[in-house]
Structure formats: structure tokens, C-alpha cells
Amino acid sequence: MFYKYCTFVLVISSLLLAEEIGLEYEGIPVKTMDAAGKNVYTVVKREIPEACKKIPINNIMLWTGNYAHPNVPEVCKSTFVHTVGGHIYPMYLDTDITTYGELEVLAFVKQMQTDDSLMLIDVCKKEFYHYRTIPGAVNMPFNHFKDPTNYVFEFEQHMKDLGVSVNDENDSLDFTHAKTITLFCNGPWCSLSVTAILALLDIGYPPEKIKWYRGGLQEWLAAGMTSTRK
């Protein structure tokens, strides 16, 4: 019976994984708002140029020089700054916090379109957020969580947006209806999402309602995923 159960779970897991993998090319329509306050629909998907799908990549082509051989078409190349940031962070920040990869984020964004209890959060400061982010993400800068005494209005607004009730009489927080959130910043070396998550844990945010996209925007772009800047 145990083996039959395991087989059943494996089949279900395989089907769910196949569904998630399919999302990367099918795309998800995401409603966002532009600077003029108008609703804009963006299809979030993996964007691989046709020229990149037809070339036979080998080790020499992939890893020569600046990570790309001259024979690799320019459209297939991306350059990222990877020597910034003071630390590389562990895969898991807390036993109850799930670490996400690109497919999990994509599935989260898809579910978010019809589920108001989910929220994707870019914790970078607003100049980074407005320059480029993941479509559908809202901006809640990390320092608003880290230093709420100096950002009282912003902190209280974030709590309201997250479904957290604030009792003004005793400054207590009620997380009964807190949203399930996925946080990210600029890359796996970026400390901002870690800082924000630790600050949220410190005020009592339920860890099981926190998801962490460790790879951040750098890994998102490296995977060829849609961003708000073309």
C-alpha cells in the first residue's frame, strides 16, 4: 500500500511539474498599471529568440571568454554584473519559509491573477523598481520594514495592503488575514529581500505565508523571463 501511495504521489507531482513547466512558454497575462495610471496587460513568459533555439551549444561556445564564444549570435547573449553584493545567501532562511525558483514564481503569478490573498513584492528601493521589475510585482522597499519608526506611514500602509490589522492603542498586529507573499530583490547576492524577510519575521509575520525568490531579478532575466523593461 505504501508503494502504491508513493507511486500515486509521484504521478500527481509529475503532472503538476509538467503543468508548471508548460507555463514558461505559454505565458501568463498579468495586469499592471503604467505611470499614467492606465491598466496594461503584459504576457509574462520565457522569451527565447528563435535564433537561439537552433544553434548547437557546446562547452567551448558556452564558457569561452566572457561566457560566450564569438560564434554565438548576439541576440542569445546576456551580460550581468555578478561581482556585487557582500554575501551569497543560503537556500533556506527558515524551516517554514519556502524558497522559490523561476517556475514557482511563475505559477505564483498565475494564481495571483485570480487570488487576492497572494502578493508578489519587489523590496528594492523605488528607483530600481521603476527601472525594471517582474510584471505584477508591487513595491515595498525593505527599509520600510527594517526601520518602521522612520517610515510610520509607509509601514502602516504596507501592513494594510498585506491584510495585517494594526491596533493603534497598543501597536499590536493581527496576522489572521495576512496575505501569502513572495519577496525578491536584485539577485542571489542581494541582501534586501533577506533583510525584509527577517524584519517581517521579527514583527510576527507567519513564516509559512512567506515565500522567497532567492534568485531575484538577475536569475529571472538570466532565464529569459519577461520584465517590465524591454
In the prediction, which pLDDT does 65 show?
66
CATH topology of domain 98-222: Oxidized Rhodanese; domain 1 (3.40.250)
Max intra-chain CA distance, the chain: 67
Domain range annotation of the chain = 98-222
- Backbone angles phi and psi of 217, in degrees to 5: -65, -35
In the prediction, which pLDDT does 17 show?
47
For 180-198, the three-class secondary structure string (H helix, E strand, C coil) is EEEEECCCCCCCHHHHHHH
For residues 104-113, average pLDDT: 96
73-82, 148-157, 194-203, 213-222 — which is least confidently predicted?
A: 73-82
pTM for this prediction: 0.79
Name the pLDDT band for 142 (thresholds 50, 70, 90).
Answer: very high
* DSSP state at residue 225: B
Q: What is the spatial distance between Cα 228 and Cα 42, in angstroms, rounded to a whole number?
A: 8
SS3 state at 217: helix
Its sign, for the CA torsion 32, 38, 39, 43, is: negative
Name the pLDDT band for 116 (thresholds 50, 70, 90).
Answer: very high
